[in-house]
Chains A and B, each alone.
Chain A
């Protein structure tokens, strides 16, 4: 027959267990404390502060609560709408192109010997360790209508790619699409390397050719990597700034102005920190929405 512990002994045992637990966990908490504090002070705090600012008329020295006025103002802001369209178009084109290029390049590297894979990974990763400013400057020269390589190669005459409102954004998009997506290549390459070879052997025995194997085995099994890359590339695309700023300055006639550039100008040029924060909140909401859709679309329980 089981006997219940006296209440007193249970009470006296709990604090000692707590102390033991505390002694066990304390070092762990102490180890994470610095990074948690840094995160709270320098990242989480400013994010919350920015969220609060979005509902205020905030300048350098003055603040006043204005509710949703900043968001209502954005609805009527022609430049903001233009920047939204530009950014969305940039993301809509560059994200799938970058993914496809990364997937194809990683697929082409897969049959190569290990040393050649290493060589190509390093070569493809070079753009990632090169400043975007440098890359964008080179692209600006390449699009120069008089002596740029693009017009020379295409023999089109002096097409002013970056100076015409109907061409400038497409030129910027082209520059991003033609820059090898280094992270994607490396991650896809690593993911492909971890797919068991017997899956391909079995498919081969069943008569599947290389394309069928790639489409029915490789692509589905890369879904977790694809999901990660889609989300990350979408975030990077929505945050595009340096490339556009260097290549076109956001012009001509707002043709290449992006949301982040607008946030920068609104905040630091115009001192309208409330409006800039509202723009940032909208950007955050868009990225979060895109990520949610992507998670829903690409989520999988792939295990192998």
Chain B
């Protein structure tokens, strides 16, 4: 095979017409969410522009490290010499850490988003002095590293202040079999991007944060129209791909859960989940407020319809898109997911984390843990302005008040449902999304689709 998935995306990104969005899609896998990982964005989000100073930091006074020597930090998208804004931020973070810990030198090893995951996995499996001591990983892949004894539990290094500071749902998102396996960095929840100009064009008032699904549906219907120049505008769209969970927010909004809390049982065949999928299907099949290609629409195409063609009123996305829209002066608004049958705000999201490699040298592990904690804490926010490019995982780190969209995403963090930890997550996600595709294209009724997905998922969970 001459072309792997990452390489395909890299080559695609070289095509001028599909630029940033696909690079974002490649990055998205890092946080388990489909939309651009903010950490991968070459443009710092305004949500983290200089001036965002941390509030009450739960900084604790830690004893000097026993370890002296080097640490290897494998970082996606890093290029030496500060070639990108994200690389500059990484360099600054390292400088601040080394200043606070004079005996430790951090080597940043840049791995590309395209194919970099295999590089990281190989380096971890190979071990040795060049192996990663600390690495970025999305929480939905984390459990595989924990199950293979490649990631070390952070619990011995997790202070009470850390536990109180990290959002409880976020901390739970890195837990596996009673232990926590990574330092949570940030949470890009899924929200609704709105084009205010299309709302104004149709005389539809922008919704409030507490809008319901019925209001959303009515807006989508009104915002689906043909302009005088023949341009067809659609009320709603979202990407549905094997590793993209954005539309699951509809199923969760009605009370659905993909798996039981312990990750052992498939539960997306519940009446609540079926109800959510029925609503999503109705938008496409009954209301026809989605583009005809909905169901297998690529994320890049969704963003292009919103940003370039101005032919999409609303779509589901995470905070990573903000930077692009601000940079290109694209008008947009962000709202939480409409409230569904569950009667409360619910959304889904990814979680970017730093994991530490399990190894025999405990002093080195401790140093890597110290670095991981620093990279996710208010300390790094204070030392490196603009470091956090998505809503932070800690409550003590504020978001720039001037960035309303990022603040909106930040407000979603407490009710963001992170995906359950199971080593088979990749297969679970692919199986469920395949059947959601079948349902929204009208090929299979929602109830049957989620039942078929269950038939595929259940054996995977039983295998452990």
Contacts and interface: CB of A to CB of B under 8 A. Distances in A.
20 contacts: A60-B144, A62-B148, A79-B456, A133-B8, A134-B15, A160-B292, A160-B293, A160-B294, A163-B293, A163-B441, A165-B441, A248-B296, A249-B242, A251-B433, A252-B443, A263-B1, A268-B121, A270-B424, A270-B427, A271-B148
Q: Pick the 10 closest A-B CB pairs, nearest first.
A: A252-B437, A253-B438, A145-B292, A163-B296, A160-B292, A252-B296, A133-B11, A158-B292, A269-B426, A163-B293
Nearest to A145: B292
A41 B121 CA distance: 21
Contact of A60 (B3, B8, B15, B150): B150
B296 A137 contact: no
A163 B294 contact: yes
A144 B304 CA distance: 13
Interface string A265-304: 1001111000000000000000000000000000000000
A16 interface: no
B175 to A, nearest CB: 21
B5 A264 contact: yes
Contacts of B240: 251-252
A104 B124 CA distance: 53
B444 to A, nearest CB: 8
Contacts of A146: 232, 291-293
A269 to B, nearest CB: 4
Interface stretch (A7-15, A214-222, A237-245): A237-245
Contacts of A249: 241-242, 296, 298
Contact of A268 (B4, B295, B424): B4
Contacts of B3: 132-133, 241-242, 245
A163 B297 CA distance: 7
B296 A270 contact: no
A213 interface: no
Contacts of A163: 292-297, 441
A260 interface: yes
Interface in A198-257: 239, 241-242, 245-246, 248-254
A251 B18 contact: no
Contact of B1 (A166, A241, A252): A241
A270 B426 CA distance: 6
Interface in B1-49: 1-5, 8, 11-12, 15, 18
Contact of B241 (A251, A269, A271): A251
A22 B11 CA distance: 50
A270 B460 CA distance: 11
A246 B144 CA distance: 27
B152 interface: no
Given A242-B3, A252-B296, A252-B443, 5 more contacts: A60-B144, A164-B443, A165-B438, A245-B3, A252-B434
A145 B427 CA distance: 30
B426 A265 contact: yes
Contacts of A134: 11, 15
Interface string B424-445: 1011001101110110010110
Of B3, B118, B150, B301, chain A has the most CB atoms within 10 Å of the CB of: B3
B121 A164 contact: no
Interface of A: 59-62, 78-79, 131-134, 137, 140, 144-146, 158-160, 162-166, 168, 239, 241-242, 245-246, 248-254, 260, 263-265, 268-271
Nearest to B434: A253
Contacts of B148: 59-62, 271
A162 B296 contact: yes
B268 to A, nearest CB: 15
Contacts of A246: 8, 12
Given A62-B148, A253-B435, A145 B293 contact: yes
B150 A131 contact: no
Contact of A253 (B150, B297, B443): B443
B212 to A, nearest CB: 28
Given A60-B121, A60-B124, A268-B118, A245 B5 contact: yes
Contact of A166 (B4, B150, B431, B443): B443
A145 B144 CA distance: 39
A263 B1 CA distance: 10
Contacts of B107: none
Of A78, A162, A164, chain B has the most CB atoms within 10 Å of the CB of: A164
A59 B145 CA distance: 11
B117 interface: yes
